Structure 1
Amino acid sequence: MIDSLDVSYGNMWGSHEGPTHPNPIPSALAARRHAAGMSYAVLLSLRERPLAMVERWPRGRWRVYLFDDASRRAQMIDFEPFGTGKLVVFRNTRLTEGGQETLSVEGLCCPAAEFGDWQVFASFLAQQDHELAPTVVLHDVSVGEGAGPLRPTGIEQLFLPGPRDTPDGPATVELGDAGAVRITSGQLVVSDPGWVIDPRTVAVPPGEYPVTLALLRRTPWITVAAAKVTFMDTPSHTWEMVLRPDEDPELLGEGEFYGVGVDTGTVAFMDATRTVDEEGLDEEVFGPLSFVDRPSVELPGTDTEPNLIALSAGWGDGSYPVWIGRTEDGQAACVVVDFRLYPTDQEMTAPGGTGPSPA
């Protein structure tokens, strides 16, 4: 008879891959994500044996995976809100090596779960022939808070020429001049030029600002390790993550960040008024860029629009942190995109290697 369960938390994405959390998170972070309506996963286990993985989905939906005696996913139960304070099962599936079998959902329901009310899902362990005590005690065994979101450590060192040790071996950093981006609207945009939707923006005075590249050279390849737009010839006193209005760093786990998403292997700096002809990108941007001799390209301005500077995003697609450096009086001195080709000081000292993956 089960009278207690261990509870731990993790990111939902990837939680379907096995009987553990690929990316564990603290219970306090899971609680903040719950309050914000975000997704996360809860593992219910008994003496290190996984019994159920509970996933919080958008719009009040939940999914529960039940494990068999060999810690394999044997059943998947999907819940949706019904009325006030209630969840009903709309899909109940047995998972087998040969495929899936639909099971009855008749009469399967439970109270809507508040954070920490995991007994409501523990009752479904009976679907795998587990017997539960009238009261099941929950023990929080989640990871500690850790160091928090990715910190802007070593940003200046990204642009120091010289040798570097990287995960792919020794290389050399060189500085490159990508030209100047012209800002007319007072808003600098940092975005994938093929996907300029809800981009990251930084308020700066109108003007022309130089774009500097930190180029990592490994014969015969040359890749962009970082890119900087400089607004003031003044050292940055503080660094902060460039955030959209709806982003809260308190919802980030250890080493995570909000960054610029890249789906075309390219990042661009441009004014907020600049439009992009997506049909011309292959000929004007993607084709000319080269890992051998051309890491950046400028699309000239027109009579009505300022220019655009595009560059290869490290080794390609992903998400990359964008930092703004500020002077002592709070003015924007520069913006830096770090393509994470070599570890920062924070990642070098983190347990288990060069650091966690971005958010």
Structure 2
Amino acid sequence: METTVAAVYCEGWDDGVVNPLTPDRAESRDSAGEPYSVVLLAGGRPHTVLDISWAEGYCAVTRYDADGRRIAVHEFRRAPEGDLFLRESTTWHDPAGAGARHRTSWQIGGRRNDSIEPAGDRGGRHTFSDGGFTPPRLPIPAFGRWKALLDSAARVHAEACVRQFADICAAPRVIDGPFRINNDPPGAHDLPVRTSDERPWHPPRPLQPRGLASLFRDGAERTVGDRRMRLATRPAGKLNLPSGRLVAADPSSLDYGDEPFLTTVPPGTYPVTVSLATFTDDLAHTRVAAMRIDISDRHPVRWEPALRDGQDLLDLGYGEFFGFGVDAGLACFVDEDNRERLTDEWQSLELRDPRFVTLSGGDMIAWSSGWGDGAYPTWIGRDHSGRVTSFIADMLLFPSDD
């Protein structure tokens, strides 16, 4: 049976329409890659919500039942070839009952991971992982041409219910479809409408490097709350990288097998610079803002996150990053070949003034980590030719660029 749906445009859905948009304004956002949402109505009720941000190559398709309960979310991402592929889908079998949940994620290379929770939040899980699966793909739709997205999500939902829930849930329900889009304005509707300064959703935009150059500019000042900090740089020694495989980690966790970054550099010894931030109204209070390894003297023109094996930027949400964890208030750079040998060096460290030290003739450089424990990103600088110029461990002292 064909389902007819009509579109209402807005900045998001939160049990009601948030910041309504005219179709022309929504189409303008679509063309510019700016985030917006489409609430598709069937019989006057929310049937599907599309959250779209083409700048991030992202579209989420969320389905609701007749009682307004969420029953499926499908997240499409842009593939390297330019079309969309289904990155992750989550289906709830019975929102009013056990809430059985099935989550599937696809990797563009063909691996599929499934997690089935027959009792939902009450516990119990079956997991499967296998290769040889091609994720569903489709072209990025033109504005208003939502049918392919809806039909694709419907097929995946039906498969999840019938093939995966059949042996662990009673009477699996298949989503309705295919769909017919009514592009005429829906006219008056009874949906709640409100305005807000904040959208109810954000596109999956990972943390971006913020003002890295200014972190290494002597005399630059940055704001923390209502206080100012002044930056100064100092040579921190030279780091030996005999294998060219860099590890950034809490030195107290080196024996836990911290993985080196995927990006390697030629084996050698490289200068390291520390950025120190001192409160202008308390000159005795200094923190490490960042550590930089200079691989060459070329100027970086772009920055990218340093990734480890198994990390994929598509897994990051808004403002998220892959970082190294700190539990002892300390961080370090070390080569993978030296990591195991230096696992006990941290026990003698007490970095107060200065807040950094070179150990074992340059085999490790350690420092006190920003405000203390937490997680910290490492950024890779590249020149116009894509060659690595530097690594920067960012201690996230400052909440935003100023």
- TM normalised by structure 2 equals 0.54
Change in Cα spacing, 1:278 to 1:270, as seen in structure 2 (3 Å) is closer
| 2:124 matched residue in structure 1 | 79
> How far apart, CA to CA, are the structure 1 residues paired with 2:68 and 2:286?
52
| 1:18 matched residue in structure 2 | none
> How far apart, CA to CA, are the structure 2 residues paired with 1:8 and 1:55?
11
> How far apart, CA to CA, are the structure 1 residues paired with 2:345 and 2:241?
22
> How big is each residue's C-alpha offset from its partner over 1:287-346, in whole Å with a ceiling of 9 and x where there is no partner?
x311xx221011123xxxx6211011111121111110011112110000111110344x
> How far apart, CA to CA, are the structure 1 residues paired with 2:334 and 2:127?
47
Q: Is 1:175 matched with 2:229?
A: no
Q: Is 1:298 matched with 2:361?
A: no
Which residue of the other structure, out of 209, 213, 216, is the alignment partner of 2:270? Answer: 209
Task: Give the drift of 1:154.
Answer: 2.1
> How far apart, CA to CA, are the structure 2 residues paired with 1:317 and 1:258?
15
Overall identity of the aligned pairs, in %: 29
Task: Give the drift of 1:62.
Answer: 2.3
> How far apart, CA to CA, are the structure 1 residues paired with 2:210 and 2:317?
17
Change in Cα spacing, 1:209 to 1:146, as seen in structure 2 (3 Å) is same
> How far apart, CA to CA, are the structure 2 residues paired with 1:337 and 1:33?
30
| 1:62 matched residue in structure 2 | 117
Correspondence 1:1-359 to 2 at 5 A: 3-7=66-70, 27-28=75-76, 34=88, 60-62=115-117, 77-81=122-126, 144=201, 146=203, 148-161=205-218, 162-167=220-225, 169-196=227-254, 197-201=257-261, 202-218=263-279, 219=282, 220-274=284-338, 275-283=340-348, 286=349, 288-290=350-352, 293-301=353-361, 307-345=363-401
Task: Give the drift of 1:63.
Answer: 7.2
Secondary structure of the residue aligned to 1:273 is helix
> How far apart, CA to CA, are the structure 2 residues paired with 1:190 and 1:282?
17
Secondary structure of the residue aligned to 1:79 is coil
Q: Which runs of 5+ in 1 are unaligned?
A: 11-25, 66-75, 84-113, 121-133, 349-359
Task: Give the drift of 1:207.
Answer: 2.4
> How far apart, CA to CA, are the structure 2 residues paired with 1:152 and 1:116?
41
Task: Give the drift of 1:32.
Answer: 6.1
Secondary structure of the residue aligned to 1:257 is coil
Change in Cα spacing, 1:116 to 1:313, as seen in structure 2 (3 Å) is farther
Give the structure, 1 or 2, with the largest relative contact order (CA under 8 Å, sep 6 or more).
1
Task: Give the drift of 1:224.
Answer: 0.6
> How big is each residue's C-alpha offset from its partner over 1:211-268, in whole Å with a ceiling of 9 and x where there is no partner?
1111111223211111101111111022111111311101110111111222222111
Greater Cα offset, 253-262 or 267-276: 267-276
> How far apart, CA to CA, are the structure 2 residues paired with 1:81 and 1:300?
47
> How big is each residue's C-alpha offset from its partner over 1:184-218, in whole Å with a ceiling of 9 and x where there is no partner?
22222222212221323341122221111111112
> How far apart, CA to CA, are the structure 2 residues paired with 1:332 and 1:339?
21
Q: Which runs of 4+ in 1 moved over 3 A?
A: 26-29, 31-35, 51-59, 79-83, 114-120, 134-137, 142-145, 275-280
> How far apart, CA to CA, are the structure 2 residues paired with 1:64 and 1:184?
51
Alpha-carbon contact 1:242-1:323 (below 8 Å) kept? yes
Change in Cα spacing, 1:145 to 1:182, as seen in structure 2 (3 Å) is same
| 1:68 matched residue in structure 2 | none
Change in Cα spacing, 1:294 to 1:82, as seen in structure 2 (3 Å) is closer
- TM normalised by structure 1 equals 0.60
Task: Give the drift of 1:277.
Answer: 4.2
Change in Cα spacing, 1:145 to 1:164, as seen in structure 2 (3 Å) is closer
Partner letter of residue 226 of structure 1? Answer: A
Alpha-carbon contact 2:209-2:303 (below 8 Å) kept? yes
Partner letter of residue 213 of structure 1? Answer: V
Secondary structure of the residue aligned to 1:5 is coil
Q: Which runs of 5+ in 2 are unaligned?
A: 1-64, 78-84, 105-112, 129-155, 163-172, 177-198
